[in-house]
Structure 1
Amino acid sequence: MADVAREAGVSVATAGRALGNYGRVRADLRARVQAAADRLGYSPNAVARSMRSGGTRSIGFVGADISNPYFATAMRGLCDVAREQGYEPILANSDDRLEVERAAVNVLLDKQVEGIVVAPTSVTDVAHLKRAQELGVPIVLLDRPIGTLDADSVVIDNEAAAYEAVSHLLELGHRRVGLLACVDPEESPELVARGGTGRLAVLGAARPSIDRIRGYLAAVDDHRATSSAELIQYTPLSDTAQAQRHAETLLKLEQPPTAVFATDNVTTQGLFMAARRCGLAIPGDLSLVGFDDLDWTTLVDPPLTVVAQSPLAMGRAAAERLFERIKGDDRPAERLVLPTELIVRSSTAGHGQGA
């Protein structure tokens, strides 16, 4: 502003009134100030302006991995709602690393966003999110609820979705059903034997990956199918190459599974590539159920059976809830559970019945 005033030959106060459209300024001076601003490439500071207006009309979104189609699509839903409300979204990618998420939230707070939607990396270390709430910035959680944080969340029933997918395979006659799960290497779940039965249980705080493992184990138990740790492989988050390697380990067991459930779009792709690399026919040698109904799942041969969710609807719902909070809604925090659907295609068949 001082540079513009100097260039126009007016006081800083006059330049401020001219560019801020407040107070009285002669038309010729207003034109001179605007011309100087144009020459210097001046743009107003949104945060400073918000100190007068009472809000930046911006919200933040911290996604775990915005190169992942799930988060990219959810981000689109959030951006659509933000712009419908006359707000601009500020987007950050945490890379599923807690220290990056903390830094992103701090930057958003510095920019005085009016609310934040976040897909949290940790379900236990949430001090930075509580601090945002203490500063009066509402938080809405996407995909991953946090029991220790009093905040709205938009999720799916991950355990029920996995249970339905695995039950589909078991009802087709498969008894050795494998699981390829995408998990944070720093929060790897612990498999334990339950009592003297040899049946498996999983320990760990509730989050989508853990809940999908729970759904898998519950379905295997209810159908009295093989419950074995060797049928479960973990792969790091958002790494298709590692997902493929872990899938190959599963498929090359001495007694390999006849069907596998992959818990997200990364593991689904890795599993499909591993089956092809191992020369397995789908569904003749291996039935496959994946997660997320992405375009590629219908373009491959055979088209894949998948659990479908709507990240676009989830992103929109999270943003809509955030704006309700921004506008003063003070109801108790709510968990909004959106539906999933098992879409059966040609990648699954009865055991020994595939083409």
Structure 2
Amino acid sequence: MAEHPKSGRRSPTVADVAREADVSVATAGRALGNYGRVRDDLRERVQEAAARLGYSPNVVARSMRSGGTRSIGFVGADISNPYFATAMRGVCDVAREEGYEPLLFNVDDRLDAERNAIKVLLEKQIDGIVVSPTSVTDIGHLRQARERGVPIVLLDRGSPMMDVDSVVIDNEAAARDAVTYLLGLGHRRIGLLAAIDPAEGPQLVTEDDGRVGVRGAPRPSVDRVRGYLAALDAHQAESSPELIRFCPLDAVPHAEAEARELLSLPEPPTAVFAADNVSTQGAFMAARHHRRAIPGELSLVGFDDLDWTALVEPPLTVVAQSPLDMGRTAAQRLFQRIRGDDRPAERIVMPAKLVVRSSAARH
């Protein structure tokens, strides 16, 4: 946060003015930047609050007065992952429909790279940002952008520590439905493979009743593990730490190595739920390595309906979400905010469904 050049005190931000005037950050930004629609009484209230606090417009506000830069930012965790690449396409399509240019950043799930991306976007006086946050807890840089009046929409990963719009799926319910499907086929020893962020990924614990539980920040991988365990608990099926394997994000060779170990257990699972597209690919390759016939010897349910999952033999049963629609929805929500929508922040839950093909059979 900038400091007052003479006193060394922190300079007031748009968010400070909004609190002082008892209005939303968006309203304060429009009133201070002289753009969009603001009632005369609210504009006067904001200007009086700004005067009391000694607020000086920042470069973003000056840009807004001149109509903005007509550009938005997209910060993706890893655009080599088909999910983020497709979501990026959705964001770009909407931006160009609105007459804006998208500035794209790939941060490889590195927090330092994400912080730098946000810094660069603010320096470029960006009009709004769609970001899939690397961390859902370490978000000071995103808060700083929001306090400067820049609208932000979170994609794929929401954060309980930030009051902004997010576009997600119900990951726990999606995982629960997938595992319930396997349980309905008679499987009771079901493995889980998931790619995680070690810093925020799931931590397995043993509950008082002896069942396996999960702890961790609310992000897709944690919620999917929670859904897996909830389905097992509902059917009194076995839950065991040895059946749950984690691998690094976006590292298919590591996912395959963990899946090989899972299938090498003295009593291997009869079915595996792979909780993301990296794990799905790793589990499929491990089954081939072990010459484990799918679905005759091993049932497999994956996550993300990527092209290859329907082209292999057998075609895979997967949880399908639409990253293209999610990217479009996030960008559309961002432009509503840019145009002055003051509604409370919303968690937009997009649909996910189980696409049943041929990779799971009755046990």
TM-score normalized by the length of structure 1:
0.84
CA contact (8 A) 1:198 1:227 kept: no
Which residue does the alignment assign to 1:7? none
1:165-204 equivalent positions in 2, closer than 5 A: 165-195=178-208, 197-204=209-216
Separation in 2, partners of 1:119, 1:234: 21
Are positions 1:103 and 2:116 aligned together? yes
Q: Which of the numbers 64, 78, 91 marks the counterpart of 2:77?
A: 64
Aligned-pair CA distance for 1:50: 5.2
The aligned length equals 303
Percent of residue pairs identical: 70
Q: Unaligned 5+ residue runs, structure 2?
A: 1-59
Q: Which of the numbers 249, 265, 279 marks the counterpart of 1:253?
A: 265
Which residue does the alignment assign to 1:139? 152
CA contact (8 A) 1:62 1:94 kept: yes
Q: Which of the numbers 232, 238, 244 marks the counterpart of 2:244?
A: 232
Shifted more, 212-221 versus 197-206: the winner is 197-206
Which residue does the alignment assign to 1:39? none
Which residue does the alignment assign to 1:349? 361
Q: Which of the numbers 116, 126, 145 marks the counterpart of 1:113?
A: 126
Separation in 1, partners of 2:228, 2:205: 14
Which amino acid in 1 is paired with 2:130?
A: V
Aligned-partner SS, 2:250: coil
Which residue does the alignment assign to 2:228? 216
Aligned-partner SS, 2:115: helix
Q: Which of the numbers 89, 92, 95 marks the counterpart of 1:76?
A: 89
Which residue does the alignment assign to 2:22? none
Which amino acid in 1 is paired with 2:158?
A: P
Separation in 2, partners of 1:95, 1:185: 14
Separation in 2, partners of 1:323, 1:303: 39
Which amino acid in 2 is paired with 1:102?
A: R
Which residue does the alignment assign to 1:40? none
Aligned-partner SS, 2:199: helix
Separation in 2, partners of 1:333, 1:226: 40
Separation in 2, partners of 1:283, 1:202: 29
Separation in 2, partners of 1:317, 1:165: 25
Separation in 2, partners of 1:330, 1:115: 15
Separation in 2, partners of 1:334, 1:51: 24
Separation in 2, partners of 1:51, 1:255: 63
Which amino acid in 1 is paired with 2:272?
A: V
Which residue does the alignment assign to 2:349? 337
Separation in 2, partners of 1:52, 1:177: 58
Separation in 2, partners of 1:341, 1:329: 31
Separation in 2, partners of 1:272, 1:234: 15
CA contact (8 A) 2:193 2:246 kept: yes
Alpha-carbon displacement from aligned partner over 1:169-196 (angstroms, at most 9, x marks no partner)? 011000100000110122232111111x
Q: Unaligned 5+ residue runs, structure 1?
A: 1-46
Which residue does the alignment assign to 1:277? 289
Q: Which of the numbers 142, 150, 155 marks the counterpart of 2:163?
A: 150
Which residue does the alignment assign to 2:337? 325
Alpha-carbon displacement from aligned partner over 1:284-320 (angstroms, at most 9, x marks no partner)? 1100000000110011000000000000000000000
Q: Which has the larger Rg?
A: 1
Separation in 2, partners of 1:143, 1:126: 15
Alpha-carbon displacement from aligned partner over 1:118-141 (angstroms, at most 9, x marks no partner)? 000111111100100111100000
Which amino acid in 2 is paired with 1:126?
A: I
Are positions 1:266 and 2:272 aligned together? no
CA contact (8 A) 2:201 2:221 kept: no
Separation in 2, partners of 1:187, 1:125: 10
Aligned-partner SS, 2:333: helix
Are positions 1:298 and 2:314 aligned together? no
Aligned-partner SS, 1:187: coil
Question: RMSD between aligned alpha carbons?
Answer: 1.2
